[in-house]
Every structure is written in structure tokens, then in C-alpha cells.
Chain A
Amino acid sequence: MSTNVLSRQPVMKSWLAENGSLAALVVLAIALSLLSGDFLTVTNLLNVGVQAAVTAILAFGATFVIITGGIDLSVGAVAALSAIVLAWTATGSGLPWPVATVIALVVGLACGLVNAALIAYGKLPPFIATLAMLGVARGLALVVSQGSPIAMPDAVSHLGDTIGGYLPVPVLVMALMGVITAVVLNRTYAGRAMYAIGGNEEAARLSGIKVNRQKLITYALSGAFAAVAGIVLASRLASAQPQAASGYELDAIAAVVIGGASLSGGKGRAFGTLVGALILAVLRNGLNLLSVSAFWQQVVIGVVIALAVLLDTLRRRGST
């Protein structure tokens, strides 16, 4: 028992306690490379990265929201809507692609702002506000596209390519968004305010944090990240599809929680979320390599999500 304020906690032990999901990922990867000779190849691993990219980008946005103690169910739909808007304004109306891209990002951001306004000023529970937005965004995507896919402008489609025939661009975008998330969460006022609000909203308010304004920023970020994810997904497919990314919001939330965030707020990290998204992608990839039927895959993934979070909770309880 000391008052020495400069001493650090035992590094190794706490690192393991906080990165339980990383340990799970490593175990999973080792198991799969033993079970299938195809798993541990560069091509396959890059493929996993591409598979993870869209979920991870959505999940980074969801991390902000979940840290504040909220939830965003609209990210999949907003992703689809943003991509459709991009394709429609560029291919359909002939706007230059950079302008179309900016418009798409603004649409995502705007959806987030509407969510936040309903939650912060309308006092709607986040679940309901974003569920409504899910419906609205998906509906608008269908209305704008009239229900059929729209080709993406070629320039943007390169986002789905690889650099030098090797390095997939989606993986780069994922890394970039991950770094942005980490910087926002750790280094910016907005990020620290998110933790405070999620940890104790009343204490945050009484400490002078403008809670409503911070929520606007949080959901706007989530919307903008969803737009990026939507554009990456559409680039890979070379066309924007109104039904794209449906159900992805749940994968995103699962990735965040597997990564160690708490749905009651105040906890979560960019790196954890990345690991969570990778676990989901590795699992799907591995089950495919092992030719497990699609039906069983769903069962296995459900079980793994439950196990991952359970293990994490147990470890935390054990360490205090």
C-alpha cells in the first residue's frame, strides 16, 4: 500500500487481462492453421482482412456510440444508403466522383446527427431512435435506387482493388479508420468525454461536459464511418446495392463487445474492436475452409460470440 503515484501496475498481467480477445484470436488462428493447410497463406489472410474490413469500419463507428452507453442499429442501412447516393449522384446524375463521395459522407453524417438529435433532445432511447433510422435509411436506399443496383464510378471502385496486385485497399482503409478511432478516443476532448458520459452521465454533466453536444458528435462519427464502410463495400462489388450490408449492424456490435467494450458504457477501445472484427472474419473464413455448412456456421458463430464475451467477463471478475 503506497502513495507513490508514479509507479505503474504490473504491466504483463494487466495487458493480458485487457487483451483477452487478442489471446482468443491467436488461439483461433493456431487451431485453424492446424486444421486446414489453406488457412495460413498470405492470400487467405489478406482475404480475411478484406472480409473483416467493412465490419471493422462499421464497428469502429459503433465503438464511439457504445462507449457513451448508447447503441446504433442504423449503421448497416446508413452504409447502404450512402453508397447508393454516391453511385446515383455520380453514375446517374453525372456529378464528378469527388463531389459525389463528399455528398455520400455528408448523408452518413446527417443520418447520425438525426439519430443524435432524437436521442439527445427528443429523449428517445437510442435503440428506438436508431431502429427508426434503420428503416428510414434502408427505405430511402430502395427509393433512390428504385430497388436495383447502381454501378459505382470507376475511380471510386479502385477502393476495392489491390495495390501492386497484392495489398487490398479495403485493408488499408480499415487500418486508417482504426487509427483515427484510436486517436479520437485517446487523444481528443470528444473521445474522453465519450468515456465520461458512458461511465456516469450525471457526473459528466456536472463536470461541465455538454452532454447533448457530445452525443451529436458521437452519432455523427458513427454515421460518417458507416458511409465509409458502405463505399468500401460497394467498391468491392463494383456496384451500390440497396440491400447491401443488411444485418451488418449486429456484426458490428458483436465485434465491439467481443473487443471488450461494455454495452452499459464507459469501456471500449479501437484495438479491441479491430480484434473483435477479425475474430468474426477468421471464424467465417475458417468454417468455409473446413466446408462447414452455412447453417451450422450461424450456430457456431453465435456460440463463439457468447463464449468470447463470457470469457472476458470471467477474466475481469477474476482480476479484481
Chain B
Amino acid sequence: MSDAREILRVEKLGKRFPGVVALDGVDFSLRAGEVHVLLGENGAGKSTLIKMLSGAYHPDMGRILVDGAPVEIRTASDAQRLGIATIYQEFNLVPQLTVGENLTLGRQPRRFGFIDTKRMHEQARELLERVGIDVDPRTRVSDLGIARMQMVEIAKALALNARVLIMDEPTAVLTTTEVQRLFTIVRQLRDKGVAIVFITHHLEEIAQIGDRVTVLRDGRSVEEVPATTSEEELVRLMVGRPIDQQYPREASSPGEPLLRVAGLTRAGVFSDVSFEVRAGEVVGLAGLVGAGRTEVARAVFGADSYDSGEVLMDGRRLPSGNVHAAMEAGLGLVPEDRKGQGLVLGADVAENLGLVTLRRTSRGGFVDRTGQRKAAGRVATQLGVRMSHLGQEVRTLSGGNQQKIVIGKWLLADARVLILDEPTRGIDVGAKVEIYQLINSLTASGHAVLMISSDLPEILGMSDRVLVMARGRLVGELDAAEATQDSVMALAVTEVEGARVH
């Protein structure tokens, strides 16, 4: 921290939505050349706060000062003019456009009035290199996985050369390798005097990257502490109580195999993937971004089709590419992309929670609305969803609470083998423990879980067995006892013979 000049200051900021007080007097200050972490439970108001700095919302109360002078930030271009760039928690890319087009959106290089595609791709390639991902700028954004989308978002914000860079949970979907790369970039920017606001639910990242931490609780700023504060203390400030055990896995002895996957192959994406999931087990699926974990999970669930191999539930073969058949057989999938694949954003909480069970609870074509609402209320309470009522539109829930809804609807479905793809993305430490407890009770009742996660400690803490994928192949299997960060990472970076090229 070379320069301790204050760039931005927020005083008594408040924001209400119909039925909710999202922010109720937040103070916060940001210096040049620091990484300031915002910490708080799901729904504490972190995203709302930064949206008022980026011009997405306008505060009802309090004021914002930039360089000591009060400012009005009413639109995104106001924010840009003040040198504030934001990476939102929910992505803001145009899925139909290419990566290159997204990266240069609104400022595409022109030649004779036409877009200079060659130069556009050059600029895009430079940005992508900076964040260190290997993606062709001509790829359509809709063809990217969620982690690469996140890296593209980061690249897009870097292009603005802002003085203040706000990052809302940029690491939620990244694996350790990408997180380290991101931190290198963040440190470079910080050393150049850029002020960075950083939101994360991964407490171990705070000491690595942060300088100061502001803790929000129920829409108020409760404390400002140095980033060297112990994790226990941070949890206490955030949740108001200590958490004894982050990973409360209670392993049960595995029973009959429920799901068997044999020789599953899709040309150019994954090949010859075989594994088994037994009753009562939690099987972790680890690997780097782009290793093909999500693709395999989707193929198993029938969301996509595959070229060869087979998927068997209870020894019976499932048809390729048929979600309905997979569900009938007792499979479930919590997808990684909640906005694109998990939620009907414009529908309310009860409706979303009841979506998977809608068919089963219908009688003669008529839905049981009362039963549905009751069940939804039960799960919402179990998961501690922070909302004003069951009729609240899911769009207006905080990111972590939206994620709870995606998990919740599958908990209601009572699938015998539940595939979780990044289940705790964006969920706070307290609520994570609740979800792990629910995983425990699933396996205790003879169900099984296949869990994909980029959060290695989570995989290690919760799995009974760990499968590792690299470049579309299953490269190893580790027992819970022998699996460590190093042993998993060593496998994850395996160079596979004759591997596909991107």
C-alpha cells in the first residue's frame, strides 16, 4: 500500500425495496491501492451496496463521495466517467455474441464505419491473455462454461482501465489455479494504485488478497477490521455466532451401486468415462475448469446426448439425452448456471421450489397449490432463504439465496442420486454447513450424491471418494483418506495421452 489517499467514501447509505430494507445505514471507505473486502451473509446487502456505486440502483438515503466531493451516480455511464468499473455477481454478457464482441461491446474498433473484426479480435486476444484463459475470441459466449464466462467478465472490466474496480464474488466458480491467476492480476492493479472492492464467501481468500474488511450484517456495516483478522473472528462478526465444523461429513458405509456410468464418450468433449456411485456415498468430482466435469454430469442426467457408452440406474440402461427418463429413474441435477439453467427468474419462490415436483404432486392434471406452498415454505426455512414472502420474485433475491432455491427444488424432489454441480456457489459459510447437513441426511437415508465443485476444500471435506478429471478423461480415483489438495491437483494437471486440443 504505497498510497493511502481515500478515493471513495459512502456515508449512511440506505436502500429499500418493496417489503425489504436492503441497506440501512452503511459506511464504507476505499483507498487508492487497497483491496477492500466486503463480507456478509447471503442477503446482507453487499451486492446492493456495489450496485449503488455502479449506477444500477440509486440510494434512498445517505451519500457517496468520490475524491471528497459528493456525487450522483444515476447510470452506468456516470460510474464509468468517475472511473468505476464493476464485475457483477450475475453475468452481463450477451450470450448470442462472440467473446470478442462482448469484450469490445460499445467500443468496437472501426474502419470506414465498419467494425474492424481483425483488430477487435486482436484486442480481445490481448485481454484474454491478460487473464490467462485459452479461449478463441470467435467462440460464442453461450458455448462457454460458467468459469470461463467469469474470466471473460473480468477481462471486460479490465479493458476499462478504471480507478475503482468492484468485483462481486469473482472467485465463486473458479478453481484454485484460476483464483491464483486472478489474484496476481488484482495485486498488479493494486500496486498501480487501483482501488479494489472484493466480495467473496471464501474466507481463506481474505488474508491472501485483502487489506481491510468491512463486515455487513442485515443491511448495516457492523465493523471494519484488518484482513489479517482470524477466520473465526470474521465468522463471528458476520454470522453473530461461531461455526464449529465447516465440513460435518458423517460417512456411512456404502451400499448397493445405484448409478453406473460406463465408457461414456462424446467426441471432442469427454471420452471413456466410467464410474459408479453407491447408496450412501458422496462422490466428489474434481478437476480444472474445462476438464469436462459439467459436460459429463449433463450427459449422465440426459440434459445433453452422448455418442457412446452407457448410463445405468439400478442396472437399467437410460436413454441418451432424455431428462425425463433420468428423473423417473431417480436422478437429479442441480446445474451450475443458476440464471441460465436453474431458475425461472420471473416466477416466485414457491413456484420455483415446486417446479421439479410439479408433476408428481398433480392429481388428474390439477396442481396441489396448498401442498406445494407448504412444502416450499418448509424447504425455504430449512435452507434459511432470506426473502420477504414466498411470493417474492426470484429475480430479486440475493445471489446466494437464489442458489439455495436451485438446491431446494431438488431436495424436494427426493432424487436417489443427486448430482450437484457447484452447489454452494455464492453461499455463505453458515448456510453451507446447513447444506452439508442436508447432504448428510440424504446419504444417511440411502441416497447418493455426486458433487462437482471447484472448491477443493469442500470436495475434500465432504466426499467419501474423489474422482479427478483432466481434459475430458477420468484420470484417477482417490479415497477420502488419501485425498489431499496436492494429490488431487497432481492428478488434475495430468497430461492425457492423445488429449483433445482446444
Chain A residues with CB under 8 Å of chain B are 1-10, 13-14, 186-190, 192-193, 195-196, 199-200, 202-210, 266-267, 319-320
Contacts and interface: CB of A to CB of B under 8 A. Distances in A.
Contact of A206 (B218, B335, B387): B335
Interface in B43-64: 43
B334 to A, nearest CB: 9
Interface string B341-367: 111111100010001101100100111
Given A7-B389, A8-B391, A320-B396, 19 more contacts: A1-B22, A1-B43, A2-B388, A3-B380, A3-B384, A5-B377, A9-B19, A9-B388, A13-B18, A187-B366, A187-B367, A187-B369, A188-B365, A188-B366, A189-B367, A196-B351, A199-B344, A203-B344, A208-B356
Contacts of B343: 200, 203
B356 A207 contact: yes
A206 B341 contact: yes
A266 B21 contact: no
30 contacts: A1-B20, A1-B43, A1-B388, A3-B381, A3-B385, A4-B389, A5-B389, A9-B18, A9-B19, A9-B389, A10-B18, A10-B19, A189-B362, A189-B365, A189-B367, A192-B367, A195-B344, A195-B347, A199-B344, A199-B345, A199-B346, A203-B344, A206-B301, A207-B356, A207-B409, A208-B324, A208-B327, A266-B346, A266-B347, A319-B18
Contact of A1 (B219, B366, B385): B219
Contacts of A193: 358
Interface string B163-199: 0000000000000000000000000000000000000
B17 interface: yes
B18 A206 contact: no
Contacts of B341: 200, 202-203, 206
A-B pairs, top 3 by smallest CB distance, nearest first, are A199-B344, A189-B362, A207-B355
B333 interface: yes
B343 to A, nearest CB: 6
A199 B340 CA distance: 11
A7 B327 CA distance: 33
Nearest to A7: B389
A9 B390 CA distance: 9
A187 B362 CA distance: 9
B386 interface: yes
A209 B340 CA distance: 16
B38 interface: no
Say whether chain B's binding surface is mostly helix, strand, loop, or mixed: loop
Contacts of B327: 208
B363 to A, nearest CB: 9
Interface in B451-502: none
**A7, A200, A210: which has the most chain B beta carbons within 10 Å?**
A200
Contacts of A2: 388
B296 to A, nearest CB: 16
Interface in B4-63: 17-22, 43
A207 B341 CA distance: 9
A9 to B, nearest CB: 6
Contacts of B388: 1-2, 7, 9
Residue from B20, B344, B369, B396 whose CB has the most chain A CB atoms within 10 Å: B344
User: In this complex, which of A189, A204, A205 has the most chain B Cβ atoms within 10 angstroms of its Cβ?
Assistant: A189
Contacts of B347: 195-196, 199, 266
A192 B362 CA distance: 11
B18 A320 contact: yes
Given A199-B347, A206-B335, A206-B342, A5 B381 contact: yes
Residue from the set A5, A8, A209 with the largest chain B CB neighbour count within 10 Å: A5
Contacts of B396: 320
B355 A204 contact: yes
Contacts of B340: 200, 202-203
A199 B409 CA distance: 16
Among B20, B346, B351, B385, the most chain A Cβ lie within 10 Å of the Cβ of B346
A267 B389 CA distance: 20
B362 A3 contact: no
B187 to A, nearest CB: 36
Nearest to B22: A1
A6 B341 CA distance: 28
Interface string B432-455: 000000000000000000000000
Contacts of B344: 195-196, 199-200, 203-204, 266
A193 to B, nearest CB: 7
Contacts of A207: 355-356, 358, 409
B190 to A, nearest CB: 33
A304 to B, nearest CB: 26
